[in-house]
A and B are shown apart, each in its own frame.
Chain A
Amino acid sequence: MKTQAAILWEVGAPWSVEEIDLDPPGPGEVLVKLAASGMCHSDEHLVTGDLPFALPMIGGHEGAGVVMEVGVGVSWLVPGDHVVFGFIPSCGRCPSCSRGHQNLCDLGAKMGGGRQITDGTARHHARGQDLSLMCILGTFAHHTVVNEASCIKIDNDIPLDRACLTGCGVVTGWGSSVYAAEVAPGDTVAVAGVGGIGANALQGAKLAGAKRIIAIDPVEFKREKAMELGATHTASSMTEAVELIGQITWGQMANKVIMTMGVGSGELIGQAMALAGKRGRVVVTNLHPALESSVTMSGLDLTLYEKQLVGSLFGSGNPRADIPKLLNLYRDGLLDLDGLITRRYPLEGVNDGYQDMRDGKNIRGVLVYD
């Protein structure tokens, strides 16, 4: 069939929305009509080259839609099912999946190439070339063909333009606080960067019972939004935050620090560690440039105060358990998804959406398809 998709042809280029040829689903694959896709900064990392995946690539990895057709051997989905995509596929059988770390499934190794999990070939083609898919999904499109392992079936009553957010940003942020940082009741938590991820780190910290939540962001609109999402204090920079936190904790500093900036920076790690107190934990969720290999921090400080620096992917959660779990929290009013969507755009508006993101105008911009 033919459909529309936003393609990145080379690093630094704008997204090009054009017609593509889409093959039918192969064994283990499904054809999905997409309803919506969040515009996550990770796709911008593709554009800037921070994330060196294989181009040309159809962007988008935070999506939801309805299954139209299933390939041979598909046993968990039928046409009509509503699905959210997990940006990391989960096979359910490798050692990581088996131990409850589906976010680290061995199938993740195939993400860089962006070709189908079953046989490494492409179902999407344009201008006579094979196209790879962001996170083997390609949700900046009206239709896509993905492996069953990337699909999480959800109940039909959740609006898909809200549900799509749980495919990445919501679980990544919420889980960073609840699972990776293990925010405990009474904690003081600092969240550095209030975008699509940080907004959910705030919500997670609040639900986990944090007493004080300090949201750090240079953009005033985002600081205001942060107070609606659970923050108790705000600061416009790490420097301002260290003084503020020192004051409100009488010198004990934060128990947990969550790094959810647009782009991570090795130079800021030392400042992040300084926000943490004794036995404090700094969670690095944001993506650093792939070629960056040095971090500025005090090793002595790490030892003497027994601090921790940990990485976290997808909020250290499990797509198959946490996407339904968080959608249930949304249903019960304990998680705000509606308030995260600042603006909606058609597929053709994808470049506007990313400009608005760069300009700090959106918590989350969402592409909504007819």
Chain B
Amino acid sequence: MKSKAAMIHGLNQEWSVEEIDIQAPKKNEVIVHWRAAGMCHSDEHLVTGDMVPPQEYWEFMGLKDFFPMIGGHEGAGVVVEVGPDVTDLAVGDHVSASFVPSCGRCRYCSTGRQNLCDLGSQTFIGGMITDGTHRHFQKNGEPVTLMAKLGTFSEYACVATNSLIKIDKDIPLEAAALVSCGVATGWGSATARAQTKPGDTVVVVGVGGIGMNAVQGAKMAGAKRIIAIDPVEFKREKAMEFGATHTFSSMAEALPAVMEMTWGQLADRVIMTPGVLHGEMMGEGMSLAGKGSTVVVTAISPMTSTTASINLFELAMWQKEVKGTIFGSLNPRADIPALLDMYRSGTLKLDELITKRYPLDQINEGYRAMRDGENIRGVIVNG
């Protein structure tokens, strides 16, 4: 079948909406009509190269070419066709994307860490995770890869069932799309990973699509004070609606205030969720963390960067922790439905995260708005 899809052909290029050809699904695959796709910064990280492996690694990774790639990994839609022998999904089912596939069998899936599933190692290389061959082709006949094997910036995509989570039909697909990445990543960073406890003081650095949900998560976990830090005024205002108790425009501005409000004890949890995390930002982030505190690194840093300004003496003497997290350390198959249930019962805000909706053709406008700080989350909507 044919589909419109937004792809990039190389670093630092604009998204190009083109027609593609999709082959029939094979074993353990389905075709999904993506109805909503969140414009997450991670797709921007592809454009700028933060998340693109250096070219010298491509051959080692079995990649002829990293590009062109259809973007989008945050989305929800409806199954329109199923491959042979597919039993866990049927035509008409509503599904959420899962940017880390979950096989349910590897050591990580088997110990409750589906976000670390071994199939995740294949999300950058070409071809389907099922058998390595391609289903998506450009008009010139050349294959095109899909971001995270999902390609939600396409009206339709052929996706492995391991990358999809079936959801209830009463949940609006735009809300479901958000939970498939940003909401879970942010919410989990504050709850499952930072382990925020009632009465804690929590600092969230960067309140975009991820950080805003770290604010929600910290609130639900009973934090007493939630300090949201962001240079953009619109985002600081929004953060107060999501549960922040204080806002500052920079970590430097926040430090004396956090010192004062905690009588010198500083924060129990610091969640690092800026759009791009650079090593030198860690120093300021760590300075906000008090004794025995936990600093969670959620944001993406440039892939090849290996330096961070962390005072190791303080790390040891004050017994701080620095922990990385992917997908908020949650489990897609258990937690995407659990979060959607919280939305259903009104405890989790999702609608308020969507600042603006765009048709697929306006994807570049959507990303410009993200870069300029205008959106918490922009969503592409396909009828």
- Show the binding face of A for B, using Cβ within 8 Å: 27-28, 72-73, 75-76, 90-95, 97-102, 318-322, 324-325
Contacts and interface: CB of A to CB of B under 8 A. Distances in A.
A92 B106 CA distance: 9
Interface stretch (B110-118, B319-327, B358-366): B110-118
B105 A100 contact: no
Contacts of B28: 75
B26 to A, nearest CB: 11
B104 A318 contact: no
A97 B114 CA distance: 10
28 contacts: A28-B87, A72-B85, A73-B27, A75-B27, A90-B104, A92-B103, A92-B104, A92-B105, A94-B333, A95-B333, A95-B334, A95-B338, A97-B104, A97-B109, A98-B332, A99-B112, A100-B110, A100-B112, A100-B331, A318-B110, A318-B111, A318-B112, A319-B110, A320-B106, A320-B109, A320-B110, A322-B110, A324-B107
B196 to A, nearest CB: 19
B329 to A, nearest CB: 12
B110 A102 contact: yes
B102 interface: yes
B88 interface: yes
Contacts, number: 66
B85 A73 contact: yes
A99 B331 contact: yes
Interface in B69-98: 85, 87-88
A127 B229 CA distance: 75
A28 B86 CA distance: 11
B188 to A, nearest CB: 13
Nearest to B113: A100
A320 B110 CA distance: 6
Nearest to B166: A93
Contact of B331 (A75, A98, A322, A324): A98
A27 B85 contact: yes
A95 B334 CA distance: 5
A112 B332 CA distance: 30
Contacts of B88: 93
B356 to A, nearest CB: 33
A81 to B, nearest CB: 13
B85 A92 contact: no
Given A27-B87, A93-B333, A102-B110, 6 more contacts: A73-B27, A95-B334, A100-B111, A100-B113, A321-B110, A325-B107
B104 A91 contact: yes
A94 B338 CA distance: 12
Interface in B330-379: 331-335, 337-338
Contacts of B332: 98
Given A72-B85, A92-B103, A98-B333, A321 B27 contact: no
Contacts of A72: 85
Contacts of A92: 102-105, 109-110
A98 B87 contact: no
B85 A93 contact: no
Contact of B104 (A93, A95, A101): A93
Most central of B106, B114, B338 by chain A CB within 10 Å: B114
Most central of A99, A101, A325 by chain B CB within 10 Å: A99
Contact of B102 (A95, A98, A320, A322): A98
A339 to B, nearest CB: 27
B290 to A, nearest CB: 28
Contact of B334 (A76, A98, A318, A324): A98
Contacts of B334: 95, 98-99
B337 to A, nearest CB: 8
Contacts of A93: 88, 102, 104, 333
A100 B102 CA distance: 12
A26 to B, nearest CB: 12
Nearest to A153: B105
Given A99-B112, A100-B113, A73 B333 contact: no
Contacts of A100: 110-113, 331
Contacts of A319: 110
Nearest to B337: A95
A325 to B, nearest CB: 8
Given A75-B27, A98-B331, A321 B107 contact: yes
